Structure 1
Amino acid sequence: MGPAAGRHAGHSARGARSFTIDETGLSLGAAGTAQIADPAARTKHEVDLLAVATGERPQSPRAATALIGQAKATVQPRGLKDLERLEHIRALLADQGHRPDDAVLALFRLKPRNGRGAPTQDGQLPLQPVRQPMSLIS
C-alpha cells in the first residue's frame, strides 16, 4: 500500500460517502482541469478538477488548493489506487510551491439510477443525468 493508506486507513474509497457538490459545504474559487508535471517519472498527470481556495489567484505561485478531483465515466466504485494517485498529485503540487495540504480529494463517478449498476433489459445502464454525486476523502 502507498503513502495514502496510512492517512486514510479509516476510509475505503468503496465505502466513501457520496455527496452532491452543494451538500459538501466546500467553498471553491476558480476551478478547471490541469496537467501536473512529474519530473521524476518524466510525465504529466491530468487532473479532471483542480480548484483553488476562495480568493486565491489560479496561477499564482503559492495558491492554496481547495480540491483535487478525478472523474471516471463508470458506475464502478473507485478504489485505493485512485486515491493514491490523487495523493501523489497533491505531493507534486506541494513540491512545485503550491499549498495543497488542506485540499479535499474527490473521486467522481456515474451513479446508476437503480442504485446497483444493473443493466436494464436492453443492456443499458440507467444513469442519473443531473447532479452527479462525488465521493469525498480528505
Structure 2
Amino acid sequence: METYEFNGEKYKKASRHQKEWGTRLILELNLTGKESILDLGCGDGVLTEQLSLLVPEGKVVGIDASEGMIKTARQLEKYNLQFYHMDMADMAFKEEFDVIFSNAALHWVKDHSLLLRHSHAALKPGGTCFQPFRRLRVSAYK
C-alpha cells in the first residue's frame, strides 16, 4: 500500500486546526476512565496523549503509517500510551478496543471497506468508532 511520509516535528507546528477539531471531538466522548482506545492515524500523538489522560485506568494505542509521525509521537509514550508504525490497512487487532478514534486521517485511506472490516475486528463487543462529524457503529458493517 502506498504511504505518505511526514515530518512529525513540522506537523506539530503546522497542525493547530486539526488539533482544535480533534479536541472538540474528544470532548464528545463519554468515557469512564477504564477504556482501551485505538487512534487511527495518530500523527504526532498530541491528541492521542489527550485521550490517555482521560483513561488513567485504561490504555491508548496510536498507529500511523508515517515513520516521521511515529518518531515524534513516541516521545509522549507512558504507562498507558503506546505508538506503533503501522498502516491502517495492515492492522490485525482482535477485540482489543472499546473505542476507535480518528481525526483528520481517514481521507488518506483508499479502501474504506477494508478499514471498516479491520476496525470491526479490533473492537470489543459493543465498541464504538468516533471520527469527525459522525459517530459510527462499526458493528453495523459486519
TM-score by length of 2: 0.29
* Bigger fraction of residues in helix: 2
Q: What TM-score do you get using the length of structure 1 for normalisation?
A: 0.30
Q: Which has the higher strand share?
A: 1
Larger radius of gyration: 1
Which protein, 1 or 2, shows the higher relative CO under an 8 Å CA cutoff with sep ≥ 6?
1
